Amino acid sequence: MPSDDELDVPEGARYLHICSNETIGGIRFPEFPDVGTPLVVDMSSEFLARRIPWHLVDVVFGGVQKNLGPAGMAVVFVRTSILEETARDLAAYLRFDTHADKDSMYNTPPVFTVWMTGKVLRWMEARGGTPAIERDAASKAAAIYGVIDESDGWFRSPVEPAHRSHMNIVWRLPSDELEAAFLAASKERGMLGLKGHRSVGGIRASVYAAMPAEGVDALVDLMRTFRAQHA
């Protein structure tokens, strides 16, 4: 991810849009950019898994389907001071002020998704809220990255350590054949969905908030066992 001094923000820009965590390449902004321009931040894949520097942002948005609930809804935070400045030459549904004026009930709400997201939020609160979820995410990611880094390059992460995602850990094995064998071994142990995105290949473990530490422990055990058998 670019550092603040690598970001070329035009003078007078109204906002800078970023995706705080990118799921395909497994990269994240370790810190939100502070370039003197308000941020619009897509946090779909790490909502409540990290604290937000509210003094830097005007809009935070994201789909709930990664970290907060089933698909079908977005959560959007908009700074009230900018609502008067938002565009009015858009279709009514696309206007922030439309939804704010109707208390987010301009359209028929996706009731099941709202209900389930509420349950997840209460579960997160009971666990200690965002600080606890953030610590858990860092711990789970560190366990997997630890196996990658201790393998002397047999498992390879393409991401610089400082920018590694805490939600989506990606890595490669020495060959396509070994990656296929690893995926087959993971399925035999009941671990599904570890195939990397079709655009980049490799292996990808998504460890969102609902993934228990036991699931990560099982993956770590498989990685070490597989390497011992095939390295």
**Nearest by Cα to 47 from 23, 63, 32, 26:** 63
What per-residue string of b and e applies to 69-108 under the rule 16 or more CB within 10 Å gives b? beebbebeebeeeeeeebeeeeeeeebbbbbeeeeeeeee
Given a contact cutoff of 8 angstroms between Cβ atoms, the answer to whether 227 and 196 are in contact is no
Q: For residue 54, what pLDDT is reported?
A: 94
pTM: 0.92
> Pairing relation of β-strands 203-206 and 168-171?
antiparallel
Q: What is the mean pLDDT of the chain?
A: 95
How many CB atoms neighbour CB 194 within 10 A? 18
pLDDT in tens, 176-228: 999 999 999 999 999 999 999 999 999 999 999 999 999 999 999 999 999 99
**Is the predicted pLDDT of residue 230 greater than 90, yes or no?**
yes
Residue 81 C-alpha from the chain's centroid: 28
pLDDT, residue 85, reads 84
Going along the chain from its start, the domains and CATH numbers come out as 4-127 (3.40.640.10), 129-230 (3.90.1150.10)
Q: Give the H/E segment covering residue 146.
A: helix 129-149
Q: Which 3-state string (H, E, C) describes 24-90?
A: CCCEECCCCCCCCCCEEEECCCCCCCCCCCHHHEEEEEEECCCCCCCCCCEEEEECHHHHHHCCCCC
Residue 216 Cα distances to 58, 187, 209, angstroms? 35, 15, 12
**What average pLDDT score do residues 40-49 get?**
96
pLDDT at 129: 96
Hey, what are 29's tokens? 């902004």
Q: To the nearest 5 percent, what fractions of the chain are helix, strand and coil?
A: 40, 15, 45
Higher pLDDT, 85 or 207: 207
- Of the candidates 48, 1, 64, 8, which has an alpha carbon nearest to the alpha carbon of residue 28? 1
The mean pLDDT of 136-155, rounded to a whole number, is 97
Instruction: Give pLDDT, residue 73.
Output: 94
Three-state DSSP state, 171: strand
Structure token digits, residue 99: 């939804």
